[in-house]
Homo-oligomer: A and B are copies of this chain.
Amino acid sequence: MVYVSRKEHFNAAHKLTNPAWSREKNLEIFGPCANENWHGHNYDLIVTVKGDPDPETGFVIDLKKLSTLIRTSVIDQVDHKNLNLDVPFMQGKMASTENLAMEIWKILAPGIAKLSSRSTLHSIRLFETPRNYVEYFGE
């Protein structure tokens, strides 16, 4: 079993506000992350896949195909977008890095299974900034 990782990135706007709360409570809980007119980040996304290398290629998974899958199924939906307003799979959810990582897992897990029978998604690591990041293992 070898773990293979690919890093991609995207830029997006978001804000953190719970619509069930007053403006005051949102500012109290989320501070400047609740600023009404949005802010944004350069997100780094690391997708890790695990499996047994194919003896014919030496690959667990073809990283060019994995990169294409991440770009077409995730990056194209979030890059240069507003996570709260423009991204269907984030509707009705807080636009936190935690929730974003869990939704990206749901999108990529079946795509990776289809891409290669010998590999499965292991983790989603998502950096909101170089100092804040989350990791999700699917459970």
Contacts and interface: CB of A to CB of B under 8 A. Distances in A.
Interface of A: 1-9, 11-14, 16, 18, 20, 29-33, 35, 37-42, 48, 53, 55-60, 62-64, 79-82, 85-86, 93-99, 101-102, 129-137, 139
Given A7-B131, A39-B11, A40-B41, A99 B58 contact: yes
Contact of A86 (B37, B63, B64): B37
A37 B82 contact: yes
Contacts of A12: 39-40
B81 A37 contact: yes
A113 to B, nearest CB: 19
A7 to B, nearest CB: 4
A12 B59 CA distance: 19
